[in-house]
C-alpha cells in the first residue's frame, strides 16, 4: 500500500499537531492505566492534558536541523582550541580545577537528567508533555557528550579528569550531586519535573551556568564558553518547560497546589545545597573573578526568584520554605565549602590552595561583614602552616547530613559561629541533618532517606575497599585503600595545588616556550 501523501503543505501549528500530538493514541488491548502506571499515584490530578501548552513548538525534524547547526559551530571551536593549544591560554593552572569540578560533578548530572526525562517522556499520558520531555532528554544527552568532548582536551594535559564516571559513583563529595539526582529520578514523574525542570532549571540554573561560563570567558577558556553557550540556549527552553509544567499542574486542579508547594520546598532546598559547590568555584577557583557568589545570589535568586514567586502567588504558591535561610547563607557557604575541600584535599581528585593576598583582599571587599571576621584568619593560618611544610589535612572522616550528604559544615541561621545540628529519630535510629531544610525533607519521607548511601558510613562498613582487601592486615592504611578503590592517582589528582604536577607542568610549558605551540612537549600523564 502506498503511504498516504499529505498534499497541502500544513501551516506551522497544524504541522506541529501532526508531528507531536498526532503521534499519541489510546490503547485498546490493555487499559491505559496499566500502560501508563506512573502519572496518577502522586496524587496530581490532570483533567485535560490538551491544556498543556508547549512552550516551544519544536518538532523532531526542526530539532535535528537546529541542533545540528549549533553542534557544527561548537565542534569547530573545540577543534580550533585543540589545534592552537588553547589550554596554554588560560589564566593560571589553578583555573583547571573549576573544570575538574565541572566534569566530575556537573556533567554526570546531565546524564542523570537525560535518563530522568526519558522515563518521564515515556510515562505521561499527555502527548504534549511526553514530546517535550523526550526532546529535553535528548538535549541532556547531548550536553553530557559535548561537555565530555570539550573537556577531554584538557584531560591530555592535566590530572583529575580521566575517571569522572567512576568517581561520580564512589568519591565522597560526588555523592552530593548524585544523591540529588537519584532522589529526583526515583520520585514520581510530576515530582521529577518539579525537581529538575522547575526548581533546578528554572530557579537555580542561571546560578550554575552563568558563573561557570562567564568564569571560563574571563579566564581564557574559549572551549568551555562555547559548550556553555550551546547548552545555555537549550537551558532557556528547559526553563520555559519548567514554568509551564508548574503552571499546568496548578491550573488543572486546586488539590495539586499543596502537593506542588511541598515539592518546591523540598527541591529548592536540595538544589540550593547542591549549588554550594558552584559558590565555592566562583569565589575561590577562578583566578580572574567575575562576580562573587553573594552578588550572583542577589541577582539571580533574590531578584529573579523573588519576582517569580510573587508571580506564582496568584495560584496560592509562596516562596520556598528555607528561602530566607538560603539568602542569609550567601555570606558564608562559599567559604565554608572551600574550607571543607581544603580540609579533605587528600581525598578529592582536584587541588585546593589558600588564595593569594590580592584574592583575599577581593574576598574582604565582597564580603565585608563576614570574611575578615570568620574566614580570613583560618586561611592565613593554613598558609603559614603550609609554608612551614605542615600543610593541614583533616585525617578524620566528617559527620555527614543524611539528606544532602554534605559534611556538617553549615552554621546556624543568625549565628555563623555555631555549626547547625538537627536530628530526628525514625524507628529507633537517629539521623542527623545540617539544617531545618534537610531535616524537613527527611521527616516527610524517612523511608526514602534511611537508604542514603553516605560515603563516610560506607567506608566504616568496609564497602569502599577493592575486593580481596584485608583491613585486619598489619600496616593496613584505610585512606590509601579507599583512594585506591576510588581510582584516584595519589600524588597527582589530589593534595595541595602548590607543588602539584599540574602547577609544575603549566609553569614549564608557559615559562619555557611561551610563544610557540607546545603540544609536542607532552602532557601531564
Partner 1 sequence: MSNRSSTQLKALYPYSFEAKDKRENFPAPLLYIGWEDHHLFCSPVCLPLPAETPFGALSQAVLPGVYGAHPDFARIDWNAVEWFKSGEPWQPDPARSLAENGLGHKDVIRFRTPGMTGIAGSFA
Contacting positions for partner 1 (CB under 8 A) = 37-38, 41-43, 188, 262, 336, 339-340, 342-344, 373-378, 381, 392, 394-400, 407-409, 411, 416-419, 421, 423-427, 429-432, 439, 443-448, 450-454, 456-457, 460-462
Instruction: Select 306 or 478, whichever has its Cβ closest to partner 1.
Output: 478
Minimum distance, C-beta of residue 509 to partner 1, in the bound complex (Å): 34
Instruction: Select 38 or 229, whichever has its Cβ closest to partner 1.
Output: 38
Minimum distance, C-beta of residue 71 to partner 1, in the bound complex (Å): 38
Three cell numbers written together for 337: 565549602
Minimum distance, C-beta of residue 310 to partner 1, in the bound complex (Å): 27
Instruction: Select 38 or 75, whichever has its Cβ closest to partner 1.
Output: 38
Instruction: Select 185 or 217, whichever has its Cβ closest to partner 1.
Output: 185
Minimum distance, C-beta of residue 451 to partner 1, in the bound complex (Å): 5
Minimum distance, C-beta of residue 389 to partner 1, in the bound complex (Å): 13
- State how far the alpha carbon of 405 is from the alpha carbons of 133, 294, 518, in Å: 29, 23, 42
Minimum distance, C-beta of residue 312 to partner 1, in the bound complex (Å): 21
Contact between 355 and 379 (Cβ < 8 Å): yes
Minimum distance, C-beta of residue 229 to partner 1, in the bound complex (Å): 35
Q: Is 35 left (phi over 0), alpha (psi -120 to 50) or beta?
A: alpha
Alpha helices in 20-173 (DSSP H): 32-35, 60-83, 96-101, 107-123, 127-155, 164-170
Minimum distance, C-beta of residue 426 to partner 1, in the bound complex (Å): 7
> Torsion angle of alpha carbons 329, 330, 336, 342, nearest 10°?
160
Instruction: Select 444 or 507, whichever has its Cβ closest to partner 1.
Output: 444
- State how far the alpha carbon of 320 is from the alpha carbons of 293, 306, 317, 377, 463, in Å: 20, 10, 9, 34, 37
Contact between 164 and 104 (Cβ < 8 Å): yes
- What element of type H or E holds 176? helix 175-185
Q: Residue 328 and residue 196: Cα distance in Å, rounded?
A: 24
Instruction: Select 36 or 209, whichever has its Cβ closest to partner 1.
Output: 36
Contact between 521 and 513 (Cβ < 8 Å): yes
310-319 own/partner pairs: CB under 8 Å, 24+ apart: 312/246, 312/250, 315/247, 315/250, 315/251, 315/257, 316/250, 316/254, 316/257, 316/261, 317/250, 317/257, 317/260, 317/261, 317/264, 318/261
Instruction: Select 206 or 276, whichever has its Cβ closest to partner 1.
Output: 276
Instruction: Select 300 or 338, whichever has its Cβ closest to partner 1.
Output: 338
Q: Residue 136 and residue 130: Cα distance in Å, rounded?
A: 10
Contact between 382 and 393 (Cβ < 8 Å): no
Minimum distance, C-beta of residue 421 to partner 1, in the bound complex (Å): 6
Instruction: Select 247 or 432, whichever has its Cβ closest to partner 1.
Output: 432
Question: Which residues are paired to 426 by β-bridges?
Answer: 429
Minimum distance, C-beta of residue 206 to partner 1, in the bound complex (Å): 28
Instruction: Select 471 or 517, whichever has its Cβ closest to partner 1.
Output: 471
Amino acid at each position: 500500500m502506498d503511504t498516504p501523501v499529505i498534499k497541502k503543505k500544513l501551516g506551522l501549528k497544524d504541522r506541529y499537531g501532526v508531528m507531536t500530538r498526532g503521534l499519541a493514541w489510546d490503547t485498546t488491548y490493555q487499559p491505559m492505566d496499566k500502560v501508563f502506571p506512573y502519572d496518577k499515584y502522586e496524587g496530581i490530578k490532570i483533567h485535560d492534558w490538551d491544556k498543556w501548552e508547549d512552550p516551544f513548538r519544536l518538532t523532531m525534524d526542526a530539532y535535528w536541523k537546529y541542533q545540528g547547526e549549533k553542534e557544527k559551530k561548537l565542534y569547530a571551536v573545540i577543534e580550533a582550541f585543540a589545534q592552537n593549544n588553547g589550554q596554554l591560554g588560560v589564566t593560571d593552572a589553578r583555573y583547571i580545577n573549576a573544570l575538574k569540578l565541572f566534569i566530575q560533578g556537573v556533567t554526570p548530572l546531565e546524564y542523570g537528567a537525560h535518563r530522568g526525562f526519558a522515563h518521564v517522556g515515556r510515562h505521561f499520558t499527555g502527548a504534549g508533555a511526553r514530546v517535550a520531555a523526550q526532546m529535553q532528554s535528548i538535549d541532556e544527552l547531548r550536553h553530557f557528550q559535548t561537555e565530555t568532548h570539550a573537556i577531554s582536551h584538557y584531560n591530555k594535559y592535566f590530572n583529575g579528569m580521566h575517571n569522572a564516571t567512576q568517581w561520580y559513583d564512589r568519591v565522597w563529595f560526588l555523592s552530593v550531586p548524585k544523591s540529588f539526582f537519584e532522589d529526583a529520578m526515583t520520585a514520581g514523574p510530576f515530582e521529577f519535573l518539579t525537581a529538575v525542570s522547575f526548581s533546578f532549571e528554572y530557579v537555580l540554573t542561571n546560578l550554575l551556568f552563568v558563573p561557570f561560563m562567564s568564569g571560563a570567558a574571563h579566564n581564557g577558556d574559549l572551549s568551555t564558553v562555547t559548550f556553555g553557550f550551546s547548552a545555555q540556549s537549550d537551558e532557556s527552553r528547559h526553563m520555559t518547560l519548567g514554568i509551564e509544567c508548574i503552571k499546568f499542574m496548578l491550573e488543572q486542579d486546586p488539590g495539586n497546589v499543596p502537593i506542588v508547594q511541598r515539592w518546591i520546598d523540598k527541591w529548592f532546598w536540595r538544589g540550593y545545597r547542591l549549588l554550594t559547590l558552584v559558590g565555592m568555584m566562583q569565589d575561590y577557583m577562578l583566578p580572574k573573578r567575575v562576580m562573587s557568589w553573594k552578588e550572583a545570589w542577589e541577582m539571580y535568586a533574590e531578584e529573579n526568584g523573588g519576582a517569580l514567586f510573587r508571580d506564582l502567588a496568584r495560584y496560592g504558591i509562596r516562596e520556598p520554605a528555607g528561602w530566607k535561610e538560603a539568602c542569609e547563607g550567601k555570606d558564608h557557604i562559599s567559604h565554608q565549602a572551600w574550607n571543607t575541600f581544603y580540609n579533605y584535599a587528600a581525598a578529592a581528585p582536584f587541588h585546593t590552595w589558600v588564595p593569594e593576598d590580592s584574592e583575599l583582599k577581593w574576598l574582604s571587599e565582597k564580603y565585608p561583614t563576614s570574611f575578615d571576621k570568620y574566614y580570613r584568619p583560618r586561611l592565613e593560618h593554613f598558609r603559614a602552616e603550609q609554608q612551614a611544610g605542615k600543610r593541614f589535612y583533616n585525617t578524620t572522616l566528617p559527620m555527614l547530613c543524611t539528606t544532602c550528604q554534605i559534611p556538617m559544615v553549615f552554621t546556624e541561621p543568625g549565628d555563623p559561629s555555631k555549626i547547625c545540628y538537627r536530628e530526628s529519630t525514625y524507628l529507633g535510629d537517629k539521623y542527623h541533618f545540617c539544617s531545618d531544610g534537610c531535616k524537613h525533607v527527611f521527616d516527610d519521607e524517612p523511608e526514602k532517606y534511611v537508604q542514603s548511601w553516605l560515603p563516610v558510613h560506607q567506608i566504616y562498613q568496609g564497602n569502599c575497599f577493592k575486593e580481596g582487601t584485608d583491613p585486619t592486615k598489619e600496616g593496613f592504611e584505610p585512606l590509601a585503600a579507599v583512594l585506591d578503590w576510588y581510582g584516584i592517582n595519589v600524588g597527582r589528582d589530589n593534595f595541595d595545588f602548590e607543588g602539584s604536577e599540574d602547577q609544575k607542568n603549566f609553569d614549564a610549558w608557559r615559562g619555557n616556550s611561551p610563544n610557540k605551540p607546545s603540544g609536542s612537549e607532552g602532557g601531564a600523564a
